[in-house]
């Protein structure tokens, strides 16, 4: 069927799905008693207050930061409602600690470890910079695949991946103007061009290109040293400091691809990310699709209300949590 791509996106959380639109975001959680807890919240973005933040590349950096903040909020809600006992529910401090540890793990596993291994395999980054950056990038991709493969063996993560599939299937059906019911939604695939998994892989690919032109030798010359450890620290520092730029570039690629998914060039660019989604999504149960639809419906209803308000056919009604 004809596809009208939407700006609505989302993510899987513990026993649930979060959906985000232009004006609000909603998260639906399957509680231990079998019911669905749903919350709807206003969406406030930095771009609405400072239009210049919506410029290319900059908007990707801002969007990534806002998406991470929203992900933490959605995760906190799911952690509160998905646990069967008080011991299983996470406190705000535990959630903050888990997020901090997650960031530290990501930096260590995907930035520091590949750089250290590359130094051992190739030598200093200043000796053969192109080879060094290619090997470092490939090791980073391998580490990412191994990490996804390892966590996909965990039962709880498998359920999160199934909710991830439910989120994608629901968006597919909505983009085709089909009824949002489980029987129709289940006919669609679990992969989607705008998935965050594809974005992360795109970040790693673009990082190889960007880091290949970073003048590590120039910096070490200015520091007046070519010590192996100093050179390694300079290379790692550049990889951390330039992450916002790389994320902004990756965002632009994914945004472009999302507008023309049938373009042959786009298909080639997105193919690796789509294949990776075979690991990060699973076929969902109908009950999981029902949760995704619950979250999606709150966002869709708000979109329709705002459109009616713009036409002068309705009065604005503020979204409330429930």
How far is the C-alpha of 125 from the C-alpha of 231, rounded, in Å? 7
Where do the structural domains in the chain lie, given as residue ranges?
9-310
Tracing tokens 């933040």 back to the chain, one arrives at 53
The band of 322, judged by pLDDT with boundaries at 50, 70 and 90, is very low
Give the whole-angstrom CA distance, residue 11 versus residue 74: 9
Q: Which two tokens stand for residue 19?
A: 């959906």
Looking up tokens 């309705």 gives 314
Residues found in the chain = 322
pLDDT confidence of residue 40: 94
**Tokens standing for 309?**
């308000």
d(CA 258, CA 273): 13
Number of Cβ atoms within 10 Å of the Cβ of 44: 10
> What percentage of the chain carries pLDDT values higher than 70?
94
More confident site: 295 or 201 = 295
Per-residue pLDDT tens for 93-136? 777 777 788 888 888 999 999 999 999 999 888 888 889 999 99
Rounded mean pLDDT, 66-94: 78
pTM listed for this prediction: 0.86
Q: How far apart are CA 40 and CA 27, in angstroms?
A: 7
């Amino acid at each position: 069927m004809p596809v009208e791509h939407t700006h609505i996106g989302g993510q899987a959380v513990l026993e649930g799905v979060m959906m985000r639109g232009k004006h609000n975001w909603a998260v639906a959680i399957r509680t231990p008693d079998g019911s669905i807890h749903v919350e709807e919240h206003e969406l406030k973005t930095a771009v609405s207050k400072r239009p210049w933040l919506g410029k290319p590349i900059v908007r990707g950096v801002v969007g990534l930061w806002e998406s991470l903040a929203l992900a933490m909020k959605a995760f906190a809600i799911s952690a509160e409602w998905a646990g069967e006992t008080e011991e299983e529910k996470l406190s705000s401090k535990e959630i903050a600690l888990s997020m901090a540890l997650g960031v530290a793990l990501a930096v260590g596993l995907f930035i520091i470890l590949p750089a250290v291994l590359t130094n051992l395999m190739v030598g200093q980054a200043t000796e053969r910079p192109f080879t060094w950056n290619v090997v470092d990038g490939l090791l980073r991709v391998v580490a990412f695949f191994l990490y996804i493969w390892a966590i996909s063996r965990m039962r709880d993560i498998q359920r999160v991946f199934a909710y991830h599939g439910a989120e994608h299937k629901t968006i597919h059906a909505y983009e085709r103007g089909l009824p949002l019911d489980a029987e129709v939604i289940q006919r669609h695939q679990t992969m989607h061009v705008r998935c965050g998994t594809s974005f992360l892989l795109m970040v790693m690919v673009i990082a190889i290109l960007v880091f290949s032109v970073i003048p590590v030798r120039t910096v070490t010359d200015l520091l007046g040293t070519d010590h192996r450890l100093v050179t390694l620290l300079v290379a790692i520092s550049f990889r951390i400091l330039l992450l916002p730029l790389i994320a902004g570039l990756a965002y632009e690629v994914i945004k472009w691809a999302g507008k023309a998914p049938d373009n042959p060039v786009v298909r080639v660019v997105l193919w690796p990310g789509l294949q990776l989604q075979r690991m990060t999504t699973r076929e969902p149960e109908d009950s999981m699709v029902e949760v995704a639809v619950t979250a999606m419906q709150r966002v869709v209803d708000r979109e329709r209300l705002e459109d009616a308000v713009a036409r002068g056919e309705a009065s604005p009604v503020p979204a409330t949590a429930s």
